[in-house]
Amino acid sequence: MSNKIKSIGILGAGLVGTLLSLYLKKRGYQVKVFEKRSDLRKSNNEGGRSINLALSKRGIKALEEVGVFADVKSVLIPMEGRMMHNREGNLTFQPYGKEGQHINSVSRSVLNEHLIEAAEQEGVQLCFDHTCTAVDLENTTISFEHNGKESTEHFDLVFGADGAYSQLRQAMFRTNRFNYQQFYIEHGYKELTIPPTESGDFAINPNALHIWPRGKYMLIALPNLDRSFTCTLFLPFEGDPSFETLTNKKSVQSFFEKTFADTLPLIENLDEEFFENPTSSLVTVKCYPWVKNNCVLIGDASHAIVPFYGQGMNAGFEDCFVLNKLLNEFDDNWDKTLNAYQQLRKEDGDAITDLALNNFIEMRDLVADDKFLLQKKIERHLQDAYPDKWLPLYSMVTFSDLRYSEALEIGKKQQAIMDEVMNRNDIFENWESLDFEEIVNQL
Ligand SMILES: NC(=O)C1=CN([C@@H]2O[C@H](COP(=O)(O)OP(=O)(O)OC[C@H]3O[C@@H](n4cnc5c(N)ncnc54)[C@H](OP(=O)(O)O)[C@@H]3O)[C@@H](O)[C@H]2O)C=CC1
Ligand SMILES: Nc1ccccc1C(=O)C[C@H](N)C(=O)O
């Protein structure tokens, strides 16, 4: 294939497809994007099933590289830490990183609109209402349906940025030695809303990610530009409590009274939203290889993860950044680039998949535990005293661009060290007199 690539087709004008199109167009390729949905800028309908995104270092870096971050900045809301709400409505705040560090709440559709606009201005051809129905991996053609008509188009290279249920991946699925694994967690999610107050203000602190951790399940809330909050209830599909048991207004009301009492005056239309918004499921997909002939998977199509680290978009954006960096390194030799791309990013995709699953346990359960919060405090102290030696796992993932796979490995070593530290009987009283140097030197 090497250096004969001129035309590139991309499936999906989601966050990753549009950013990828910008990168490739800027390199001088002819780029055409096919998206099954209508143009978001004309009909914005998320259908009550969106979870707010948390843009952080990796995503920002990837947006900066193509010059779109400056434009996006105005739609971000900084969240400096987690605000935990216990059953009595008492609050505990846990900062995400050092002073001045934060993650950014952003609506998927607003960010997507910005990227679509930027891609169009760059000269990318965007085809909305085009559903890809098949990909021919041998001939690098895409078949799609548009306005009831079927047609087929050939490209030198095709990218599947078409999400967790990718059509391109579907074509790869039938090829020899393609590995594939998919599983659903036992929880589903439902979107609810905390509207602005009557005076038009945020009802709760907008510079935090709010969590109501309840062990096996949780509710979270992230701020929006219109001063509302998008809440997401993560609850098992089956068991008690579960989506299965919350079948009528009475059961929902009493569940919220018992578990999330301080949200009842805030979520105005609980009954309507609970029964009108869909309950969505959460899938994880792992597969390999990501490259077959001249067809390549990227973003969720190659590594669909659960949302709990707020890294799905950041990881997909980083895929684009790394691909572009490799194209620079290999002077647009696509064979070499794609080979290196899939090897590097598979390891990192697997790592963030595991990290995201673990972060659910942290958010729904551990953040309500005093010992866990003390561990975080000690780790922040280690970071302040030995910034070159100890960077907490959350910071490595969120505020650095260290490879996810390296962050995961270092994080495991840190956890083993901290397990011993936290086992001391007098840890709550005497943590300040720990030998911090000895701790960091164990790494
Ligand atoms: N906050 C949220 O609710 C969501 C967030 N995300 C975030 O976005 C990140 C990046 O996702 P990304 O990899 O871009 O994937 P996305 O799912 O965001 O985007 C893929 C796009 O391709 C479209 N598509 C799917 N099948 C076809 C097809 N056959 N033909 C043409 N278009 C198709 C999808 O439409 P359709 O969606 O209708 O299938 C979607 O618009 C995720 O990691 C996650 O963090 C993604 C989804 C939801
Ligand atoms: N955007 C999200 C959507 C759903 C669930 C979590 C998030 C997060 O961002 C979590 C955050 N990184 C945290 O660890 O507190």
Our count of domains for the chain comes to 3
- pLDDT at 1 exceeding the cut of 70: no
Same domain, residue pair 28 and 167: yes
Give me the CATH number covering residue 287. 3.50.50.60
Split at pLDDT 50, 70, 90, the class of 43 is confident
91 within domain boundaries: no
| pTM listed for this prediction | 0.97
Same domain, residue pair 423 and 380: yes
Same domain, residue pair 401 and 256: no
- Any ligand 2 atom below 6 A from CB of 51: yes
Same domain, residue pair 64 and 147: yes
The pLDDT score that the predictor gives to residue 213 is: 98
- pLDDT at 276 exceeding the cut of 80: yes
Same domain, residue pair 163 and 304: yes
Same domain, residue pair 190 and 248: yes
Pocket test for ligand 2, best of 308, 365, 398 (most atoms within 8 A of CB): 308
Q: Confirm if 385 and 436 have CB atoms less than 8 A apart.
A: yes
Q: If you measure from the C-alpha of residue 91 to the centroid of ligand 2, how many angstroms do you get, rounded to a whole number?
A: 18
Which domain-ending residue is among 360, 386, 409? 360
Q: In this predicted model, what pLDDT tens digit does every residue of 250-272 receive, in sequence order? A: 999 999 999 999 999 999 999 99
94 within domain boundaries: no
Which domain-ending residue is among 281, 307, 322? 281
Q: Work out whether strand 131-136 and strand 125-127 pair parallel, antiparallel, or are unpaired.
A: unpaired
301 within domain boundaries: yes
Q: In this predicted model, what pLDDT tens digit does every residue of 189-239 receive, in sequence order? A: 999 999 999 999 999 999 999 999 999 999 999 999 999 999 999 999 999
92 within domain boundaries: no
Q: Confirm if 84 and 211 have CB atoms less than 8 A apart.
A: yes
Split at pLDDT 50, 70, 90, the class of 381 is very high
Same domain, residue pair 308 and 322: yes
Dihedral of alpha carbons 200, 204, 207, 211, sign: negative
What ipTM is given for this predicted complex? Answer: 0.95
Pocket test for ligand 1, best of 49, 106, 300, 355 (most atoms within 8 A of CB): 300
Q: In this predicted model, what pLDDT tens digit does every residue of 329-338 receive, in sequence order? A: 999 999 999 9
326 within domain boundaries: yes
As a whole number, mean pLDDT of residues 146-162 equals 98
- Any ligand 2 atom below 6 A from CB of 359: yes
Split at pLDDT 50, 70, 90, the class of 2 is very low
| Average pLDDT, rounded, for the chain | 96
Same domain, residue pair 169 and 217: no
Q: Work out whether strand 81-85 and strand 209-213 pair parallel, antiparallel, or are unpaired.
A: parallel
127 within domain boundaries: yes
The pLDDT score that the predictor gives to residue 342 is: 98
Same domain, residue pair 216 and 175: no
* Residue % of the chain over a pLDDT of 70: 99
Same domain, residue pair 322 and 263: no
Centroid of chain to Cα 408: 17
What residues have CB less than 8 Å from 50, skipping those under 6 apart? 107, 108, 109, 191, 230
Closest among 392, 404, 399 to 355, alpha carbons compared: 404
Q: Confirm if 390 and 380 have CB atoms less than 8 A apart.
A: no
The pLDDT score that the predictor gives to residue 51 is: 85
Which numbered ligand comes closest to the C-alpha of 18? Answer: 1
Same domain, residue pair 172 and 149: yes
Which of ligand 2's atoms lies nearest the C-alpha of 209?
A: 15
Which of ligand 1's atoms lies nearest the C-alpha of 315?
A: 43
Same domain, residue pair 71 and 217: no
Indicate the SS3 state at residue 223. Answer: strand
Which domain-ending residue is among 281, 307, 339? 281
113 within domain boundaries: yes
Q: Confirm if 58 and 401 have CB atoms less than 8 A apart.
A: yes
The pLDDT score that the predictor gives to residue 44 is: 67
- pLDDT at 48 exceeding the cut of 80: no
Distance CA 302, CA 168 (A): 10
The pLDDT score that the predictor gives to residue 49 is: 75
For residue 383, what are the domain limits? 369-441
117 within domain boundaries: yes
Q: If you measure from the C-alpha of residue 131 to the centroid of ligand 1, how many angstroms do you get, rounded to a whole number?
A: 13
